Each structure stands twice: as structure tokens, then as C-alpha cells.
Structure 1
Amino acid sequence: MSALKLSGAEIRQAFLDFYSQRGHQPLPSGSLVPEDPTVLLTIAGMLPFKPIFLGQRSPDFPRATTSQKCIRTNDIENVGRTARHHTFFEMLGNFSFGDYFKEQAIEWGWEISTKVFNLPPERLVVSVFEDDDEAFALWRDKIGVNPLRIKRMGADDNFWVSGPTGPCGPCSEIYYDFHPELGNDNIDLEDDSRFIEFYNLVFMQYNRDVDGNLTPLANKNIDTGMGLERMAQILQDVPNNYETDLIFPIVQTAAEIAGIDYNSSDEKTKTSLKVIGDHIRAIVHMNADGIRASNVGRGYILRRLLRRVVRHGRSIGINDHFTTKVAETAIVLSESAYPNVRSKADSIKAELQREETQFLKTLERGEKLLADLIIDVKAKGITQINGADAFKLYGTYGFPLELTQEIAEEQGLTVDVEGYDRAKEDDIKNTPDTHGGIDLTVQGSLDKLADTIHATDFIGYHQHHSTAEVVALLLAGEVCEEADAGMNVQIVLDKSPFYAESGGQIGDRGYLSGDNLLVRIDDVKKESDFFVHFGTIERGNLRVGDTITAQIDTACRRRAQANHTATHLLQAALKQLVDPEISQAGSLVSFDRLRFDFNSPRALTPDRVQQVEELVNTWITEAHSAEIEVIPIAQAKAKGAVAMFGEKYGDEVRVIDFPGVSMELCGGIHVNNTAEIGAFKIISEAGVAAGVRRIEAVAGNAILDYLNVRDKVVKELSDRFKAKPEEILDRISTMQSELKANQKQLETIKGELAIAKSEQLLSQAISIGEFKIIIAELGDVDANSLQTAAERLLNKLGEGAIVLASIPEPDKVSLVAAFSKGVNAKGLQAGKFIGNIAKICGGGGGGRPNLAQAGGRDASKVKEALAVAKAELEAGLS
């Protein structure tokens, strides 16, 4: 009996077919952006079903089977170095939600392994949790596995937990043995040169409480995972996952671009090719699922993966753009199972091209700066690059620490990583926190109340005021029973007309009132199912259980409605006039303005911005009425409703539809008719990150505020310039011309002054044999004047050398060297000479053998630099 020779696609389909024939509902892979807000990326096949396993949601089917896309980067440094570490992989799974359990899962796990994939039973080893006698007996007695090939393992390996508390249970894994001839003695399943774990069966049968006690679950679940890449390695009989048909074509494409042969390459080259093959798969699928490169969260992971691809490409000799070519191979390999990668191919490649171009510039700039840094380090006789300097390369120039370490290592140097981390922490501490999320102490207190109070009933879509009961009261984040006038409080009501901050729209403002009670509400935030009203008691006393009247500020609400609906119209206009593929990357809807971030590789022209503004205003004047309904999400998507990437939606969604104009999934507050917006004005359009643009605008009454501010500015300028508003631009242009002329005249005077000063230096020339040298500092003279002075001095000096320095600005040093032909004949070159001197001042530079300029940043080192210059000239000319 020998294993079947199956392609990756055939393995995937055989698995899904096997379990479909056994009553499992085949479901499509979930997005790499999980619904679970506690997880950045989908890391396991069970993640889409986590709410079911935790009892938070009822299953639609008792059994399911999937092939789930997954991303893990916790051990990214092992990618390409081991046989089976990946960032992107597919997990084949079968799941039971309170239906079948341990015996059936074990039977089917063995059957698909030995009957469908034809793995020889004598090559299989299974592991069980050390205390799971039931599973051990099933494998031994029911399946017939040799007891010597059933290994008991500890909790770290074979007991699954969802967290400190909650559903958990033992698991059993099936391993393939590459060397069964070694026998059954001393089997070590951690020996990955002999064994590969390809199928994990998790038996969720307990609930763990806060004390660690295990109680049997009423409904026991099955969660399994078979690694597609691992099974492909086994069935295709290749030495590692990278040489399977799932990845190797990408590796070969990269090798062809580099002009090398994978099979004859050394291990370092093979590792780079494997990294490229793995990471490109991850990038393609992440981008197809809507993730864009950025400096935070999922976007940072994508950018890091892409930069690793470019770096490894350079290490094997690829110095030009290549990522789109290897991405096309990855798309071809995936498109049959995941059609979205082909439909998104153009945007994927555009993102790769943009990011690769940007990073190649970063590499070029950073490598030059790092080269100077390495020269300085070696000149000082030390072997470690300062951590703060390494972080500056990253923080200022985007040069990754890993690359700094690699280049340093090639030069026999190390990097102070601890110092780097300290500099990074200091940078974070000094960066203002603009998250604006709910106070964590409030969140913790609400978690404690979750079992005793009900979710807030939001009635604000149709009511602006109502009576409500105070069900929870917090002071400084701590639960309390009452609060008095002057106190800042957080209030939870049983129902509320106040909109809680969500989907980019800020929370409502307003008041809570009662007998001799007045509470000003400044903000409302949503935490889980509770609306938390942040306010100040201006009069009276407030207690839990009080019945109050909640009244929103309707003027603020109208402004927010106008701005929010204008955001929808803006997105529709951008899709129509700029690019249908544009998608929202973030937004802010406030009372006084709106902000809309969107994916776009290039800036909008002023004409295009005006066209977008005009189209939105056209829709406003056309008075389109809103049609709002709550329908199943599948129906909404079928109708073409636009969903915001990253936003989580339930089975039923609220659709805001202005027929013929815009249709989006949105829980926000909107106008009933576009005419209620009044008008729309774009304030600015700018880039905020690579591939992300931002439009800021105002709508409705906020436009009056905007115009009033600008009108006031124009009036003040008119008064100051004694000119009419229409004459201000001409007046400013005239003043700019006059200022430029004055600056030029000042530079001329400074130059003449520098020359006059330098004339006095002739008497201070030092003789060294047949040569004369002048070393001097000339105050705040600019670089051009300094060069002119040096040339004039050398002409009058004859055979010799001039080295001059100045400090034109507090943190700027200018240096110049002028050498005669005789000095050059002595082997002294002005460019190399002044470049080395400038490094003492934290800079660099160079030029011709007879005349060169340089600069620096540390003015305190000027005297030291000139002293070194004098000593080196004396030594070179003696």
C-alpha cells in the first residue's frame, strides 16, 4: 500500500468531499480579517466558529467542513529555514457542534488518512493527552493502532484551551513517520526530521472555571485541522512544504527572475527563495481580503512581509521590481479555489508596485546612511552600532532593524538591540495617544456588570428624547450607587436616544434631567452591548434606579446627520469619477466636519476634486430620499450594498439607500432626504499613508462656520494690507518679490563680508616646507560664501591648502577645503579629506580633488574638527 500522488487542489477537494458525504455542510473560507475583534488575523480554521464553541451563537448546521485561509507571523524567522513553517497556510477542518464526538472523529480521521489518502497504517503514529484514557483505548481497540505507536503527551502539546476560562479539552494528533524502519522504541514526536504532525483532533468536552476546575459540557464539540501544505508534502513525496505544487511554482518564478537554479543553489539562496514563495502567497491573499499596507495593525504585517520579500530578492541578485511577477504566479495557483484573488489582481499588483518602489527608495537612502554610520563606528574602534542610531534609521527613514543587523553582521558588527528597544519605547511615550477609546477601567467595571444588567435599547433612530432608567453608574471607572453635583460620571441606561460613537460617527451630546437634576452629556461610547454616557452632574443627585428624561442636542444631531450622509455621497462620487475600486479606509463624522480616507495610489487633481464636490452638491439639490431597511446580509450584498472593510456585521444589517446614488451598510444616523444636507464643501485632499488619501470636508450648517472663519481672516488681511480682498494676492506677490530681492542682497553682503574677513587670514598662514596652510572658522557665513572665500584665499596663497568652517545655523556646520596642485601631488584630495573631517561634526560630504564642500550637525565639534584637519595637513605635507 502506498500513498496517493495528489495535487494540492485534489487534496483540498478530497477532504471536503469526504466530510460532505458524511453530513457536513461545506462552507467557504472566512476572510483573513476575522470577526473576532481580539484577533488581528485569522490564525486557525476554528476561528470563524469561535462564537459557537463559546456558546455565544447557535450553529446553522450541526456539522461543517472548510478549507480556511490562515496567517501566522509569530515565528516568522523560521519561515524558509525549516521544512514546514509558513506565514500563510490552509487548514482543512471538520467540525461538530454538539453532534458527534470522540469516537466518530477518530474513526473518520483514520479513514480519510488511510482509505482516501492511502497513507500506510504502519507509517502513522498518534498522540493523546496524558490523562485521556478514552482516546487511547479508541485508537488501540477500535482502530487497531499498535500501543507502542500511541504516545501520551502533556497539556502543552495535547490540551486545547480557548483562554484562562471557558470551553477546553484534550486533543489527539496523527503523525506521519518518514522512517518507520527505525522501529517503535524511543519514538520522539518532536523529531521533525522523522515525524510530521498533519491532523489534529480537538475534543471540546469541558468548561474551565476561574479556579481551574473542569466541568463536563452539556454539548461537546469537535474541532479538527489538517494542514494542506503538510499533507501535500507527504503525498507528493518532497523534502519540504515549499517544494509542493502549492508553493514551488512561485519559488521557481523568483529563481528565474534572479537567473539562478533552485536545485543547485546553496542553502542561504534556497532560504531566500522559500521566503519569497511563502510571503507572496500571504500578501496576495491579505490584499485580496482588503488589507492595505500601512504602519499599524494588519497593514503593518502586510508591509513587513512585502519588505522581507524585497530584501530577500536583493540578497539573491534581484535589484529591480519583481514582486508583481511572482504575485501573478501565486494568483494563478490560487484563483480556482479563491476567485477573489483574480478579481482583485490589478489592485494587488498596483499595491505591490507602489510599496516595492517606496521600499527600494528607503533601502537606497538607508544603506547610504548606514554605510556612514559603520565607518564612524569602525573609526572609533568599537564593534556595536548604537541602538538609538539604529532606531533613528528606522523611525526617520523607515530602514528596518533586521536589515541593519544583517548589513552590520556582514561588516563584523552587532547592533545594540536593547538600546533600540529603549529608543522605540521613548518614542512611543512621547507620541500622543489619539485612540480615543473607552476608558479601560470603565470597560473592566462593565464586564463585571454584564451578568446583572441588560443591553442598552437604542431608540435614537426615531426618537430624540425619552424616559429611561439608570441601570449602572460609575465614578472614575468604579461602580457606585449615587453621585452628586460637580462629579464626572459614566451612566448606563436601560434605553437611550443617544447615538454611541461607532462607524466613525462621534457620540451624541445632550442632557439627562429629572426632579432638581441636570446632567450634561458630552460623549457616548459603546462597550459590548452597553451605551456609556459620559457627563457631568450640573445640578442635583443621581442614583442607580432613578427614572430620568434623556434629551439629545438636536442641533448637533442634525449636523452629524448631514456630515454622515455627505460621507456616503462622497464615496459614491469617488467611485463614479475616480475609480470603482476605491474603498473606505477610515472615516470621522463630527458635528463640525467630516473626514474620509480611501485607497488610491495617486493624488486627485484640483479639477477632479472640484468635479467630485460638484457631483455631491448635484445629488444634494436633486433631493434624493433615503430608503432604510434591515435585511439579511446576503440579500444586502446581492443588492450591491457597499460594506466598510474591517467593520463587523451580523446576520442582519441596516442598509442606507439613496436610490441611484449610494447604498451602504451602516448603523449611523442619516438625513431623510439629501436636500437636508444643504451644501457640501471639500476643504483638503492629501495623502496620509502609502496608497491612502484623505479628504476633509464640511456639510450643512458647518459650512457657515467654515466660511465665517475665512471671512474674518480675509477682513483682517485687508485691514493690514490696506487693500481690497481681491487685491490681497497681488500685494502678497509683490512683498514676496521684495523679500527675495532683499535676501539676495543680504547674501551678497554676507559673501563680501566673508571675503573681507578671509583677507585678514593671509597673515595667519602657517608654513610647512614649501606649502602654506590656513585653518579657520568664519562665524555664521553661508556655504556659498565660504567656498568663495576659500577659492580667493588659495589664489593669493599660492601652493597650499585652505580649510574653513562656519556655523550658518545653530544645528548646521559648513566646511570647505581648497587644495593647490602641489598639495594634490602629495596624495591629498580635498573631497576625501573634508568628507572625513565632516564626520567629526556628525556629517559628511566630498567633491573634487582641488575643491570640496561638506556639512555636519554638531556645531560643538567644529574646533575639534579643525584641529584634526590641521594635524592631518601637517602630517601629509611634511
Structure 2
Amino acid sequence: MSLTPQYLSGNDIRALFLDFYTQRGHELLPSASLVPEDPTVLLTIAGMLPFKPIFLGQRTPDFKRATTSQKCIRTNDIENVGRTKRHHTFFEMLGNFSFGDYFKEQAIAWGWELSTQVFRLPPERLVVSVFEEDDEAFGIWRDKIGVNEKRIKRMGADENFWVSGPTGPCGPCSEIHYDFHPELGEDNIDLEDDSRFIEFYNLVFMQYNRDASENLTPLQNKNIDTGMGLERMAQILQNKPNNYETDLIFPIIETAAKVAKIDYHHSDEDTKVSLKVIGDHIRSVVHMIADEIRASNVGRGYVLRRLIRRVVRHGRLIGICEEFINQVAERAISLSESVYPNLRQREASIKAELQREEANFLKTLDRGEKLLAEIIQEVKQKGLTSMSGKSAFTLYDTYGFPLELTQEVAEENNLTVDVDGFNAEMQKQVERAKAAHETIDLTVQGSLDKLVEHIHTTEFIGYTAAATTAKVEVLLVGGISEETAEAGREVQIVLDRTPFYAESGGQIGDKGYISGDGVLVRVEEVKKESDFFVHFGHIESGTLRIGDNVKAQINTAYRRRSQANHTATHLLQAALKKVVDEGISQAGSLVSFDRLRFDFNCPRALTSEEVQQIEELVNTWISEAHSAKIEVLPLAEAKARGAVAMFGEKYGNEVRVIEFPGVSMELCGGTHVNNTGEIGVFKIISEAGVSSGIRRIEAVSGAAILDYLNVRDKVVNDLSDRLKVKPEEIPDRIRTLQTELRNSEKEIQTLKSQLAIVKSDSLLKTAKTVAEHRIIVAQMEDVDAESLKAAAERLLQTIGNGAVVLASIPEAGKVSIVAAFSSEVNKKGVEAGKFVGAIARICSGGGGGKPNLAQAGGRDASKLPQALETAKTELEESLK
């Protein structure tokens, strides 16, 4: 008797899967964070990723079997999201894992039992695939399970050999597919036909590790890694045409459709795609922010920003022009909070981040879309089919318009984008940025790679010594290995030991000298590459040779400055947590000889009072002379003691802990003062935003304070001379000048408005009477928006009952439109705000306002005559 699949909710499917394997001796584990421990990937992309160290034999598990429902994010196929039935950026992978315990036969037997007996999938609707060389798996399916040979397909490595990435654990796999149309028979089955088949369960027989040269090495233990797509199983059991219409996603889509005032089922295909994109991406972004990922322009922060911007963009495509993401996000949170309670716990942070990003990008869209429309129009007029990379880069660099969105809009207009040209422009910018600050390059790295087997790693003694004798291990000139180098050459030197701190953790490298028998090298900067410290310097005199015994001496004055600034950043972070919010964390830093910079996560600007409190608190700690306590501890112990780690930073098993008891405790490899009193004094120079949700404080401390005060003093004296006042009178004098300037600007605007009113008087003779109303629709020359408004109000006042629509082109290509309607016209159902907005759209613009007075703008001045003619016709029709 054939089984009949029963309807199950997404939550039911998840619970049944986990219960099935828990009852079979599997440890039930919670989903890991979307921020993986594995430094080789940005985001958690598979259910097995948290177990990768176990599969590789790097960690001994506390259990032999485990089962999870792992939240995952992949963006490699983002262009297919919403367009296919089952591509997603966010999905849940149900998995069962064996760490050297059971293997192929047991995994296959349980997979079949779960599918056919728990989820009641008819066996005649299931087809399995195996790796073409895996005779063992083929035999198990045929002989042990009893699957007809015709429904077992051998497939190549692309389909049935699973890899976690370019390197890492891997092995042959066997997949279970559901057949939506078994009536088509068992001959010539094509599993790539996604209109007939859906792969819902992948059993990976993890038995190899693949290295960078693609060599396969057997793992210490044979392991099982399986993955069942929750969304795919929901599609099957809920009998839906695609994953998006299941109860896991469709309520989110319905919420977005309600905001847009549309019906999903009665929408065209493009609208459905946009709604699906919104439904998918919203799930991704709420989970990413809940796992403490914040939007930025790099790494996983860029993935988050890109997804949010795609949501906004697709909202715009279906007619949503205002902020809406949080309405949809609330539905996503409510759907998943019973399984992932951190969504509701971090609701405020999620919604604050989404609101900021959405508001900022709406402004970006307004600016970028205008320029993009102009570029597309120009490309089409020239008869081209591709937009230049330079134009795409201008949109990105000047307006923050992502390349991916430029490509999407271009595609909608049947155009492509020269991505190679875009990348070339991006590279030029990178090179310009590096021009003033040379960094270790691939040539240097390549030379080190060739020499690595013949030289010692650098021993760093700079925490306790300012000078040491050392041996020259590597001598590079222009990145090329040389035996000798003479005076006048720029060189890169690797010593067997060094007191020079190498640039790391935001702290720049030391300066100083390397000297020997008749040779002197001025060291300008030091960088660390792998375990080698590379000293970049200039040979002042003599000749340097490989194998020379030399003296390495840091500039202690510079070191005192940098370590004072570095300790000050620790005190600053502690003060921020105490004064503003305990949840503040570091997002980046720079510790230089003359200043310090500290970036931190904060959704708002600090008040002047908070800045003052922070500065005073840091200076209090300095004056209290707290002594440093420095220890090397196991990472777990350091965290247990409360040491602050930088979010997203990868640490080894042992870490260096810098503690100023009662004030600060952080994981840090930098150099620091022995006592906070050595800092002397601390002064905040500025506090500002650097990107959405990220603030920056710049400050100076110690001896650098004098340099800062000298510069300020020079500026004050210059202003005092120019304004002919004493330094303490400068603020009052500037306020007086600002008031005079504002008054002058008001007088100028008044004169402009009066001139426009005079010009408008000539339009009274063009007034046309419709029923009892008078209508004036006209274009005025050389009139700005404010003056146009004054003219329209004056004309309406003169004609009384009626409507006035005036337009002008205040600057090249730009359109300004004003509508002023009397109350009698409003009673006819004609409102200025709605009317002028519709007219402005003809000129590729928009706007609105009150029923009696409204303004709008446009960016296509060539359409203004058409817009005014339409305004005249519609007013006449409405008022007859």
C-alpha cells in the first residue's frame, strides 16, 4: 500500500527530525552562530562547519553522534534567489553526524527509515544518487534497502562528491530525491530536471581531507555528515510549488505584499520575484544581526549591508518608497523566536540596525538612481549594450551604489556592465591609497616563501628589551633576495631576533636603527609576515651583508608615545562601556606615535556631556597610576576572568592578557606602559560617525599633547589676527558673522521671490476659466524653487477660486514644479500634493505636500512641456 505524505509545519518537521536521531543516541546540540570559528569562511555555510575540527582530527568530541538544526547563509547563487523554486541565502540544514562511529550502511538505513516511515514519503516517489565510483553505497541501496536499480543513479564528482570548500574534509555522498511526477516512469531519469525532482537529503561519507594541491588524504576516522534542507522538505510535505510558499517564508512575503498593497497570487512574475527576495533576505539579515554581525563595507558586514540594500531595492520595485523593513522583520522574528529566542532578545538591536541601514540607503538610492538613469539613457542613445566600468565605479565610489545593484538595474534595461573595467578602477583606487604608505607586497612575501625552509622565525624580545644583538637572516632589495646592499638602497631585513614591534592589532611598527661594522640602517617601519618580522629601512652608510651580526635598537621616544596611546585605547574602551553602554565593542583602531583612533559599535552620536565624562574618567585613571598586570593564559580562562576580546578576531589557545586591575582587562599583543601614570594626560580631539552604526573617537595622549596644543595655538592666533579680536572673543565674532550672513541670504531670497512675483503678473492674462474656476499652468524662466512657490501663492491669491501650476528649470536638467489650489478646487477632489506628484513622475521625479500647496522635482527637463500639458488637461477634466 502506497504511503501518503501528511501535511507538517516547518516546526513539526524540524522537531521530528531531531527527535528521530536523539532517540538513536545522537547528542542534540543548538545551532552554532552564523559567525564561524573557522577563519577560512565568512559565514556558516553548512551544518558540518562547526564540526570541521572534529572531522580533521584536531579536536576530540565529547560524543560520537550529534544532531542539529543549523542556520546557514550562502550568497554564491544570490542572483537565483526568488527566480528558482529553492535557492536561498538563509536556510536551515537538519543534520545527523557520526564521528568515527557508524558509517555508510547505518546512515543510509536511517535516512530511508526517516524519509519513508516518519515523513511517510512513498518509496516509489524516491530516487537516490551515488558517486559513480562508490560501489559500496550502490550495493547498500539495492541489496539492503531494496531500491530498484532503475531508481539508483551513478553520478560524477560535481554532483556526488561533497567538499566543504577548496580545502578541508570531503568525501563521496548519496542523495535522496523526491519525484513529483512518478507517472513519467523509471526510464531515462534525469535528476537535473528540477521541475520533476528535488534533492532533499544528502548523506556525506566524510573520509578524506583535501589539501591546497587537491590531494586526498584519508581522515583518521570515517565520519558521517548529513544534511536535510528544512525548506525543501516543507515544500514536499506542504504540497507547495516552491519553498517560498511554505509556512517558513510565505507569512513574511504576505507581510511585504500587504505593505505594498498588492496580492502575491495575482501579481506578475517580476513582482513575485521581488517579494520572494524580500522574504528570503529578511530571514538572513535578522539572524545575522542577532549573531552580532553589523553592516559595514568589508567581510560579513558587507554581506549584511548588501542583503539589506537588495531588500530596499526590491521594495522600491514593487512600489514601496518609504521605510518598511522593520514591519517585515517583525514577522520574521515572530515566526522563528520559539526556535531561536535570541531573535526576540536582540530585537531592539536588529531593528535599530535595519532602520539605520534602510534610511541611509534610501538616500543613496535617490542620488544613485538619478545618475544611473542618466547613464543608462546615454548608453542607449549611443546604441551601446554595455555600461562602462568607470561609470559603475563612479556610482560606487561617489554615491555608495553597489555594483550588484547597478548590474541588476542595467539588466532590467537589457544592458550589461563592464565588470573588468570596474575592477580596474577599483584597483587604481587601491594603488592610490597605498602610494603614500608602502606595505609589504607579494614580491617580498614570495621571496620569504622561497627562503622559509632555510631561515629561523623571528624571536621577538621587544616587550622587555629596547635593543639586542642579532643576525641578518634575509636581505631583500626591491623584494628580491640579495647577498649584499650598499648605502643609499631601500631594503627589507629579517633578523633572527628583534626588539622592533611589528605593525599589528592597530599599533604601528617601531622606528629605530640597525647598525654593525661600518653600516647604519634607518628603520622606518616593521611588518609581520607569518612568523617573520620584516624591517623596512634605508642604508645610511656602509654595506650590509647576509649573516652580519648587528645591533637592533628601537627609538625609545617613539615607543613611549605608541605604548602610551595603546594603553589609552584600552582605558578609552573601558570608559565608553562605563559611561555609554556596556555592550559597546571595538570595531577597529589605530595606535600611532602622534595620535590614537578608536572605532566602536554605537547606534548614535555621543553627547558632548558623554564625551567630557569619558575624557575625565580616562584622566582620572591615569592620575590614579594603575600598574599593568600582564599574563599569558589559556583562552578559555582569560574569557572566564572577563577579558575583553575584539569581536570577530581569531585567537590561539593561549593569549596575552593586559590588565589594569579595577579598570580594564583585554586580550592584546601590543606594547603598553607599566603604569597608567606614564601616559600623563589624555585629550579627545573628535567623535564622529564613520559608517552606519560605527563611531570613531580620535585622541592624543602623553607627549603628543604638546604637538596638538602647538597646532591649535597657531590656528587660534591666525584667526585672532584675521578677525582683529582677542582669542577669547573669536566665538562671539564668528556668531556675529554667521548672523550677518544668514540675514544677507534671507534678503537675497526675498528679492528673488519679489522678482518672481513681478514676473508672474504677466501670467494673469493666460488664466483660463473652467466652470467657475480659473486655471494658470505655465513655465517660468530663471526662477528657483522657493521663488516659484511665492509666485504660485501670489497668483492664486489674485485669481481667487482656481488652480495654479508653475514650473521652472532652476539648473541644467533639473525640474521644479509647484501647485497651489484653492479650497473650492479641493472640494472637487483635486489635491495639490497628489496632483503635483503624479505630474512630476512624467519628468522622472516625484514630490507632494498639502492639498492646497505642494512642490515636486524631476530630473528629465526634456519632458517638462509634456508634463505641463498633462497638468492643464487633467485640471480641465477634473474641474468641468
Aligned to 1:476: 478
Q: 1:332 aligns with which of 331, 334, 339?
A: 334
* Distance change in 2, residues 1:322/1:108 (3 Å): same
Preserved contact between residue 806 and residue 815 of structure 1 (Cα < 8 Å) = no
Structure-2 separation of matches of 1:117 and 1:98: 28
* Distance change in 2, residues 1:687/1:846 (3 Å): same
Letter of the 1:577 partner, please give it: V
- Report the CA distance between 1:681 and its aligned residue: 0.6
Aligned to 1:678: 680
Letter of the 1:499 partner, please give it: Y
Aligned to 2:413: 414
- Post-superposition Cα deviations, 1:216-246, rounded to whole Å, max 9, x if no partner, equal 5665554433323223333444433223343
- Report the CA distance between 1:157 and its aligned residue: 1.7
Aligned to 2:190: 188
- After superposition, residues 158-237 of structure 1 pair within 5 angstroms as 158-161=160-163, 168-206=170-208, 220-237=222-239
Aligned to 1:765: none
Letter of the 1:509 partner, please give it: K
* Distance change in 2, residues 1:308/1:729 (3 Å): closer
Aligned to 1:148: 150
Unaligned runs of 5+ in 2: 765-776, 821-839, 841-860, 869-880
Aligned to 1:239: 241
Aligned to 1:596: 598
Aligned to 2:668: 666
- Report the CA distance between 1:596 and its aligned residue: 1.4
Preserved contact between residue 805 and residue 815 of structure 1 (Cα < 8 Å) = no
Preserved contact between residue 6 and residue 236 of structure 1 (Cα < 8 Å) = yes
Q: 2:727 aligns with which of 707, 722, 725?
A: 725
Structure-2 separation of matches of 1:448 and 1:786: 78
Q: Secondary structure at the match of 1:31?
A: coil
Identity across matched positions, percent = 70
* Distance change in 2, residues 1:214/1:642 (3 Å): closer
* Distance change in 2, residues 1:22/1:652 (3 Å): farther
Letter of the 2:603 partner, please give it: P
Aligned to 1:359: 361
Q: Which moved more, 1:416-425 or 1:341-350?
A: 416-425
Letter of the 1:627 partner, please give it: K
Q: Secondary structure at the match of 1:157?
A: helix
- Report the CA distance between 1:348 and its aligned residue: 0.6
Structure-2 separation of matches of 1:659 and 1:725: 42
- After superposition, residues 15-54 of structure 1 pair within 5 angstroms as 15-16=17-18, 27-50=29-52
- After superposition, residues 238-277 of structure 1 pair within 5 angstroms as 238-258=240-260, 262=264, 267-277=269-279
- Report the CA distance between 1:190 and its aligned residue: 0.8
Letter of the 1:145 partner, please give it: V
Structure-1 separation of matches of 2:29 and 2:463: 35
- Post-superposition Cα deviations, 1:729-752, rounded to whole Å, max 9, x if no partner, equal 45556677788899999x89xx9x
- Report the CA distance between 1:566 and its aligned residue: 1.7
Preserved contact between residue 201 and residue 227 of structure 2 (Cα < 8 Å) = yes
* Distance change in 2, residues 1:432/1:642 (3 Å): same
1:692 maps onto 2:691 in alignment = no
- After superposition, residues 344-423 of structure 1 pair within 5 angstroms as 344-364=346-366, 396-398=398-400, 414=413, 416-418=415-417, 422=421
* Distance change in 2, residues 1:343/1:622 (3 Å): farther
Q: Which moved more, 1:635-644 or 1:568-577?
A: 635-644
* Distance change in 2, residues 1:389/1:520 (3 Å): closer
Q: Which moved more, 1:124-133 or 1:92-101?
A: 92-101
Q: Which moved more, 1:569-578 or 1:677-686?
A: 569-578
- Report the CA distance between 1:527 and its aligned residue: 2.8
Aligned to 1:642: 644
Structure-1 separation of matches of 2:423 and 2:806: 35
Preserved contact between residue 45 and residue 225 of structure 1 (Cα < 8 Å) = yes
Aligned positions, number: 810
- After superposition, residues 658-807 of structure 1 pair within 5 angstroms as 658-718=660-720, 724-730=726-732
Structure-2 separation of matches of 1:289 and 1:564: 29
* Distance change in 2, residues 1:164/1:235 (3 Å): closer
Aligned to 2:827: none
* Distance change in 2, residues 1:721/1:224 (3 Å): same
- Report the CA distance between 1:501 and its aligned residue: 2.2
Q: Secondary structure at the match of 1:226?
A: strand
Preserved contact between residue 25 and residue 61 of structure 1 (Cα < 8 Å) = no
- Report the CA distance between 1:287 and its aligned residue: 0.9
Preserved contact between residue 498 and residue 507 of structure 1 (Cα < 8 Å) = yes
- Report the CA distance between 1:614 and its aligned residue: 1.3
Relative to the length of structure 2, the TM-score reads: 0.78
* Distance change in 2, residues 1:98/1:484 (3 Å): farther
Q: Secondary structure at the match of 2:688?
A: strand
Q: Which moved more, 1:41-50 or 1:422-431?
A: 422-431
Q: Which moved more, 1:86-95 or 1:345-354?
A: 86-95
Structure-1 separation of matches of 2:490 and 2:99: 46
- After superposition, residues 301-700 of structure 1 pair within 5 angstroms as 301-316=303-318, 318-364=320-366, 396-398=398-400, 414=413, 416-418=415-417, 422=421, 425-426=424-425, 429-430=428-429, 434=433, 438-450=440-452, 455-700=457-702
Letter of the 2:621 partner, please give it: W
- Report the CA distance between 1:842 and its aligned residue: 3.8
- Report the CA distance between 1:306 and its aligned residue: 1.7
Structure-1 separation of matches of 2:540 and 2:163: 49
Preserved contact between residue 69 and residue 95 of structure 2 (Cα < 8 Å) = yes
Preserved contact between residue 325 and residue 355 of structure 2 (Cα < 8 Å) = yes
Q: Secondary structure at the match of 1:80?
A: coil
Preserved contact between residue 596 and residue 700 of structure 2 (Cα < 8 Å) = yes
Q: Which moved more, 1:537-546 or 1:493-502?
A: 537-546
Structure-1 separation of matches of 2:743 and 2:324: 49
Unaligned runs of 5+ in 1: 752-782, 796-800, 809-813, 855-864, 873-878
Preserved contact between residue 595 and residue 697 of structure 1 (Cα < 8 Å) = yes
- Post-superposition Cα deviations, 1:318-364, rounded to whole Å, max 9, x if no partner, equal 45433223222322333344343232211111111222233334445
Structure-2 separation of matches of 1:736 and 1:244: 61
- After superposition, residues 117-136 of structure 1 pair within 5 angstroms as 117-136=119-138
Structure-1 separation of matches of 2:384 and 2:486: 64
* Distance change in 2, residues 1:180/1:377 (3 Å): closer
Taking only aligned residues, the RMSD between alpha carbons, in angstroms, comes to 5.0
Q: Secondary structure at the match of 1:128?
A: strand
Structure-2 separation of matches of 1:17 and 1:390: 51
Letter of the 1:691 partner, please give it: G
* Distance change in 2, residues 1:725/1:395 (3 Å): closer
Q: Which moved more, 1:166-175 or 1:730-739?
A: 730-739
Structure-1 separation of matches of 2:203 and 2:452: 33
Letter of the 2:416 partner, please give it: V
- Report the CA distance between 1:615 and its aligned residue: 1.8
- Post-superposition Cα deviations, 1:654-678, rounded to whole Å, max 9, x if no partner, equal 3333343333333332333322222
